[in-house]
């Protein structure tokens, strides 16, 4: 039996006619840049997330980049984040000449550990004035523990940018009620890369916020710092969301909650199957309905790479997210970190493996995955 890590064709089959109609409408309109679907999507995403403003951009990476640009992050500034995430989280900091500062993850959730964040501020009081932002990541579809992070940030008047690239629709039980990922910090950033729960047919992203001044600034920054054609008040870039991507996402958005439910059901199946084994299933920090399972990532005791090859030999798709933490990446050698500095990130990078969990996954396919994983150990 063949079980891919992700099967976008299975999803497309269910919405093919809607997608073709939406794409054809864009082609016929000839409004390929900033056409009406972009504003329509922005309004719907803002409503879905419970915020006032949403600004479509060209990718999840560019969402993070323009968010930092909107805060005027510059060379010499410090930005705090996790060492365990997709490269863009730290890459955008370095692109602006700022210095990434890493805080290790909670080994259960894989998200930035608020306790270690607190300790950093206690131990590095002289550097606090240089910190211009904190970027917690809602990794794999589960929100980081934001209440204590926001409390620490608020104490020092530091804005929080939520990297919610993998978490649109995830929820967090905040002290102010249940909140959607991306809606609690100064800004939230989404990716619409095709593999995401809400994925386009190419690159795309969005920044959400309740700050009108930031929304206006990001709207300018995505268009070369211009609000009126050929008049530039800022130096921005070409970070616009294509009309065709917005149109495709508008087709998918009404299906998002049902896709989340399917992923949660699949996760529950895996959890029960691995319950009495050596496999460590993803930790549910709050409740299952708050986790959208963009990935289902297990921890194995040893021989992770051998397991992955064994599953590949049995036609089961897997992925390693992420094999090398940021502090051990060659491009970040200049930061001066070394092996052992962030043990939880290092352990997770060496022992984690993502299994198939896309919505259209059939139960017999899951049973086959479980059988082969357990057989290996």
53 and 171 share one domain:
yes
Q: Provide the pLDDT for residue 111.
A: 98
Expressed as residue numbers, the domain containing 308 is: 256-376
298 shares a domain with 238: no
Q: What is the mean pLDDT of residues 220-247?
A: 96
* Tens digits of residue pLDDT in 116-131: 999 999 999 999 999 9
Q: Is 59 exposed, middle or buried (0-12, 13-18, 19+ CB in 10 A)?
A: buried
Q: How does pLDDT run across 120-161, given as a tens digit for each residue? A: 999 999 999 999 999 999 999 999 999 999 999 999 999 999
Q: Let me know if residue 78 belongs to a domain.
A: yes
pLDDT at 23: 98
Q: Which residue, chain included where needed, has tokens 């001066």?
A: 336
Instruction: Based on the fold, state whether residues 201 and 264 are members of the same structural domain.
Output: no
Confidence at residue 197, expressed as pLDDT on a 0 to 100 scale: 98
131 and 152 both lie in a single domain: yes
Which pLDDT tens digit goes with each residue over 16-40? 999 999 999 999 999 999 999 999 9
CATH number for the domain spanning 337: value is 3.90.1150.10
The answer to whether position 83 is within a domain reads: yes
User: Which of 228, 254, 280 corresponds to the end of one domain?
Assistant: 254
Q: In whole angstroms, give the CA distance from residue 347 to residue 357.
A: 23
Pair (153, 65) in one structural domain: yes
Residue after which a domain boundary falls, among 239, 254, 269: 254
Confidence of residue 252 (pLDDT cuts 50, 70, 90): very high
Same domain, 349 and 208: no
154 with 247, same domain? yes
Same domain, 132 and 37: yes
Q: pTM of the predicted model, to two decimals? A: 0.97
What is the band of 64 on the pLDDT scale with cuts at 50, 70, 90? Answer: very high
How many domains are there within the chain?
2
Q: Return the sign of the alpha-carbon dihedral for residues 301, 305, 307, 308.
A: positive
The string of DSSP codes covering 43-94 is HHHHHHHT-SEEEEES-HHHHHHHHHHHTT--TT-EEEE-SSS-THHHHHHH
- Residue 2 belongs to some domain of the structure: no
**Same domain for 199 and 272:** no
Mark whether 314 and 218 lie in a shared domain.
no
CATH number of the structural domain spanning residue 37: 3.40.640.10
């Amino acid at each position: 039996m063949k079980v891919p890590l992700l099967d976008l064709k299975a999803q497309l089959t269910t919405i093919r006619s809607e997608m073709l109609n939406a794409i054809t409408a864009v082609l016929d309109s000839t409004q390929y840049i900033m056409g009406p679907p972009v504003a329509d999507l922005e309004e719907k995403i803002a409503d879905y997330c419970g915020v006032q403003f949403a600004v479509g951009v060209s990718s999840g990476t560019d969402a993070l980049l323009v968010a930092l640009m909107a805060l005027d992050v510059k060379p010499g500034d410090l930005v705090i984040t996790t060492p365990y995430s997709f490269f863009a989280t730290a890459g955008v900091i370095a692109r602006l000449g700022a210095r990434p500062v890493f805080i290790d993850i909670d080994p259960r959730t894989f998200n930035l550990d608020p306790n270690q964040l607190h300790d950093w501020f206690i131990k590095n009081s002289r550097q606090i004035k240089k910190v211009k932002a904190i970027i917690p990541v809602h990794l794999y579809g589960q929100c980081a523990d934001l209440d204590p992070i926001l409390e620490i940030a608020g104490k020092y008047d530091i804005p929080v940018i939520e990297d919610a690239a993998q978490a649109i629709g995830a929820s967090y039980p905040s002290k102010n009620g249940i909140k959607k990922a991306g809606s609690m910090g100064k800004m939230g950033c989404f990716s619409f890369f095709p593999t995401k729960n809400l994925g386009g047919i190419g690159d795309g992203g969005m920044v959400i916020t309740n700050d009108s001044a930031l929304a206006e600034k990001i709207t300018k920054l995505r268009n070369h710092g211009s609000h009126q054609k050929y008049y530039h008040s800022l130096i921005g870039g070409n970070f616009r969301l294509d009309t065709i991507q917005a149109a495709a996402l508008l087709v998918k958005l009404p299906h998002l909650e049902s896709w989340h439910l399917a992923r949660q059901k699949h996760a529950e199946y895996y959890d029960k199957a691995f319950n009495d084994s050596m496999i460590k299933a993803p930790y549910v920090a709050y409740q299952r309905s708050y986790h959208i399972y963009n990935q289902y990532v297990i921890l194995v005791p040893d021989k992770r790479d051998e397991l992955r090859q064994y599953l590949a030999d049995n036609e089961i798709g897997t992925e390693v997210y992420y094999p090398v933490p940021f502090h051990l990446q060659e491009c970040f050698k200049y930061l001066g970190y070394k092996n052992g500095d962030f043990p939880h990130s290092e352990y997770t990078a060496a022992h984690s493996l993502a299994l198939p969990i896309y919505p259209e996954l059939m139960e017999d396919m899951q049973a086959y995955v479980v059988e082969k994983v357990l057989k290996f150990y």
